[in-house]
Amino acid sequence: MVVEEEICCSKTKVFIGRGVLKEAVHEIPKGCKIALIRQDSVDPSYLLQKVGRIEIEIVLRGGEESKSIESVLRIVGELYSKGFDRSDYLVALGGGTLSDTAGLAAALYLRGLNLVNVPTTLLAMVDAAVGGKVAVNMGNMKNVLGVFYQPSLVIIDLEFLSTLPKEELVNGLAEVVKYAFTLDSELYSYLKSNTTSILSMSGRALEEVIAMSVKNKLTIVREDPYDTKGVRVVLNYGHTVGHAIEALSHLRVGHGRAVAVGMVYEAIAGVELGYTKPHVVDKLVELLKAFGLPTSLEEVGLGSGISTEVFKAIVSRDKKVRRGKLLLPVVIDVGSWRAVEVPVEELVEVLVKCVK
Amino acid sequence: MVVEEEICCSKTKVFIGRGVLKEAVHEIPKGCKIALIRQDSVDPSYLLQKVGRIEIEIVLRGGEESKSIESVLRIVGELYSKGFDRSDYLVALGGGTLSDTAGLAAALYLRGLNLVNVPTTLLAMVDAAVGGKVAVNMGNMKNVLGVFYQPSLVIIDLEFLSTLPKEELVNGLAEVVKYAFTLDSELYSYLKSNTTSILSMSGRALEEVIAMSVKNKLTIVREDPYDTKGVRVVLNYGHTVGHAIEALSHLRVGHGRAVAVGMVYEAIAGVELGYTKPHVVDKLVELLKAFGLPTSLEEVGLGSGISTEVFKAIVSRDKKVRRGKLLLPVVIDVGSWRAVEVPVEELVEVLVKCVK
């Protein structure tokens, strides 16, 4: 399946399917140089076999630590020394942290060469690989250095998932559930009816789910490419609490699991604040459980609850806070949402109450 | 005068005029934080008087050396420590190298906060302040790290020119002449008829010339925002040879003077290659001389000529070279141009012949 989108003068072509790499690589014109930036844990042999000649191969470690400006400068230096120009290609092979770093290098090198995202985790396939957000950390300042840079090409080949641990698959499903509850009731029905085949990765169910997720994301990104219009904030659903859980667990709790729990508490808060229909919480918990995702702080080992002060400190630092108020996406009913401005104090109070 | 333009989903508002700063600063909403990044040689008192409260003031040295990733990281670190968010403002006060560095910091910080360019040299007013190209150097790799990032606001206040040395004014006029010969025969006529008042900076002639230049540049930038369509290359007219002159003189020859000489030799080469009408060279030399700009290598102290090898090495490294061919903008007649692909070997041969 091929999805094409133009976002702020940049064209992106997304290939989705098992074995689609073979076809997609023909998008890279002959004669162009190719740099492969890959995550150490990803076996490049399948990609190398299809792509053929590679001028540069740089291996980065996964995880937040390699998301640094030093990694970006290393890539840029190599591109320059091998005489890459702006018509050449950088292929980012790995999960979200890899494409964040490699994508920023691609954006910065001579003000941008062609970026090809080849995500290898479900989480990256449905989230980081499309939308153009790239960034690295500076010390403990997460994603403080970044830009919006659309990939020319995104190759979502389900072959890469065949060796993905089940836990990583489940991790990615949290973001899929996010699209369903905020934007797409059809996706919700599909997830509910096909839980087993999605989890077993049999047939085309997973491909369908990825395609629906990518389309949802691209629709939002096109409406709010630079995250300035209060639309893209919907992609943050479950993430305010989710980021707090990640921080409190010192990243021991994976992103998807943290977001799953975050969505539940944000849904409960949405009910408390009078926006969310109560049955949303039940449906959300039911679906997350069906996918084996956690739905409470206890399940992610934070059972002792969260102190109001710590929680407030974390939420206040959320990027979506403007002058003491957080722009919070709330689900109204399955597949519909709106953004509401909530004072941080009030939100923290409601959330701490929900948690108890 | 106010010019508005939308480039790839980004709106830019350009104020042009003497004393226009006072009016323009009202575009910055009350309650937003402001960081001032300024060049050490620029007196900030006029700006501070109009802008009022500044949260951060960072002083950078002018010149290529401060165009480094370290300067960018320093700015980003300060913004973060003062709690700046994406709705806040960064004001870049200085010449082109200052806005290159400050602009990249603005582009990268949390994927972009509002950038206000306040150019203080004529060269920056008619070139670097609009168009969105920002970049820093990495060692001897010039502009290797950069992005396209449109300023929200550009404030071109001619007050800043009142203390500008005459040589710096003349430096900026080279780029104005470039717009005239490549894009705008009306600007050419205006320059020819108003040489004296432009040079004396009396009346509104200079303001008129700046406005015409900015409009020409914005038209090109809108057509080719990411410099991928072979249109923006026109802004490079005179720059292939100009950059070679800058490099050969170890930056002793200023950018404008280098480009002036570059335009003459590229015009002669254009005639040799059969694209440029011969009278273009005479008109170009005449106008440059009227503004006190150099028109030959001798005049910039490179009278011994340029060795073919050195010249070829420099031209080959030009960013516009793809697979041995340079995309060269040639003037056809005053105010009209086209891009031609010339093998580097052939171009160097023609140029070296012209120089002798």
Give the residue-averaged pLDDT of B344-351.
86
Q: Select the residue of B138, B147, B149 nearest A76 (Cβ to Cβ).
A: B138
| Nearest residue in B to A72, CA atom | B145
Question: Residue A13's CB: how many other CB atoms inside 10 A?
Answer: 16
Q: Please list every residue in chain B whose beta carbon sits closer than 8 Å to the beta carbon of residue A227.
A: 86, 111
Mark yes or no for CB contact A73/B31 under 8 Å. Answer: no
3-state helix, strand, coil in chain B (%, to 5): 50, 20, 30
- pLDDT reported for residue B6: 94
Residue B356 has pLDDT above 70, yes or no: no
Mark yes or no for CB contact B86/A319 under 8 Å. Answer: yes
Residues A55, A34: contact at Cβ < 8 Å?
A: yes
Q: Select the residue of B76, B110, B135 nearest A111 (Cβ to Cβ).
A: B135
Distance, in Å, from the CA atom of A246 to the CA atom of A252, rounded to the nearest integer, reads 7
Q: Please list every residue in chain A whose beta carbon sits closer than 8 Å to the beta carbon of residue B133.
A: 111
CATH architecture of A166-355: Up-down Bundle (1.20)
Q: Distance (Å) from the C-alpha of residue B145 to the closest C-alpha of chain A?
A: 5
Residues ≥6 apart with Cβ < 8 Å to B168: B121, B122, B123
For B5-36, how does the pLDDT look when each residue is reduced to its tens digit (9 = 90+)? 999 999 999 999 999 999 999 999 999 999 99
- pLDDT reported for residue A65: 87
For B84-135, how does the pLDDT look when each residue is reduced to its tens digit (9 = 90+)? 999 999 999 999 999 999 999 999 999 999 999 999 999 999 999 999 999 9
The b/e string for B285-303 (b: 16+ C-beta within 10 A; e otherwise) is bebbebbebbbebeebebe
Q: Please list every residue in chain A whose beta carbon sits closer than 8 Å to the beta carbon of residue B71.
A: none
Residue A138 has pLDDT above 80, yes or no: yes
For chain A, give every domain's residue range. Answer: 2-163, 166-355
- DSSP H helices in chain B: 21-24, 45-51, 69-81, 96-108, 122-123, 166-183, 185-193, 195-200, 205-223, 239-248, 255-272, 278-290, 308-316, 344-355
Q: Select the residue of A77, A135, A322 nearest B85 (Cβ to Cβ).
A: A322
3-state helix, strand, coil in chain A (%, to 5): 50, 20, 30
| Nearest residue in A to B139, CA atom | A77
Name the percent of chain A lying above pLDDT 70.
98
Mark yes or no for CB contact A9/B110 under 8 Å. Answer: no
Distance of CA B239 to the CA centre of its chain: 11
For A140-189, how does the pLDDT look when each residue is reduced to its tens digit (9 = 90+)? 898 999 999 999 999 999 999 998 888 889 999 999 999 999 999 999 99
Q: Please list every residue in chain B whose beta carbon sits closer than 8 Å to the beta carbon of residue A128.
A: none
B309 pLDDT band (50/70/90 cuts)? confident
State the Cα angle at A67 between A65 and A70, rounded to 5°: 95
Distance, in Å, from the CA atom of A124 to the CA atom of A131, rounded to the nearest integer, reads 11
Mark yes or no for CB contact B110/A146 under 8 Å. Answer: yes
B304 pLDDT band (50/70/90 cuts)? low
Residue A311 has pLDDT above 90, yes or no: no
Residues A110, B319: contact at Cβ < 8 Å?
A: yes
Token reading at A62: 């996964």
Residue B305 has pLDDT above 70, yes or no: no
Residue A304 has pLDDT above 80, yes or no: no
For A102-129, how does the pLDDT look when each residue is reduced to its tens digit (9 = 90+)? 999 999 999 999 999 999 999 999 999 9
DSSP string covering A22-88:
HHHGGGS-TT--EEEEEETTS--HHHHHHH---SEEEEE-SSGGG-BHHHHHHHHHHHHHTT--TTS
Interface of A with B (CB under 8 A): 8-10, 31, 69, 73, 76-77, 80, 85-87, 107-112, 133, 135, 138, 141, 143-149, 225-228, 319, 321-323
Residues ≥6 apart with Cβ < 8 Å to A204: none
Q: Which amino acid is at A96?
A: G
For B66-84, how does the pLDDT look when each residue is reduced to its tens digit (9 = 90+)? 999 999 999 999 999 999 9
Distance, in Å, from the CA atom of A310 to the CA atom of A243, rounded to the nearest integer, reads 13
- pLDDT reported for residue A113: 97
Q: Select the residue of B80, B143, B323 nearest A144 (Cβ to Cβ).
A: B80
Distance, in Å, from the CA atom of B209 to the CA atom of B173, rounded to the nearest integer, reads 9
Cα end-to-end distance, chain B, whole Å: 46
- pLDDT reported for residue A308: 75
CATH T-level fold of B179-355:
Dehydroquinate synthase-like, alpha domain (1.20.1090)
Q: Please list every residue in chain A whose beta carbon sits closer than 8 Å to the beta carbon of residue B78.
A: none
Q: Distance (Å) from the C-alpha of residue B160 to the closest C-alpha of chain A?
A: 30
Token reading at A331: 């689900």
The b/e string for B195-222 (b: 16+ C-beta within 10 A; e otherwise) is beebbebeeebbbbbbbbbbbbbbebbb
| Nearest residue in B to A88, CA atom | B322
Residue A288 has pLDDT above 90, yes or no: yes
Between B350 and A153, residue with greater pLDDT: A153
Residue A221 has pLDDT above 70, yes or no: yes
- pLDDT reported for residue A248: 86
CATH architecture of A2-163: 3-Layer(aba) Sandwich (3.40)
To probe the interface with A, which of B108, B150, B231, B236 has the most A CB atoms within 10 Å?
Answer: B108
Three-class SS state of A136: strand
Q: Distance (Å) from the C-alpha of residue B276 to the closest C-alpha of chain A?
A: 29
Residues B242, B259: contact at Cβ < 8 Å?
A: yes
- pLDDT reported for residue A75: 98
Distance of CA A234 to the CA centre of its chain: 13
What mean pLDDT is reported for chain B? 93
- pLDDT reported for residue B303: 75
Distance, in Å, from the CA atom of B14 to the CA atom of B343, rounded to the nearest integer, reads 39
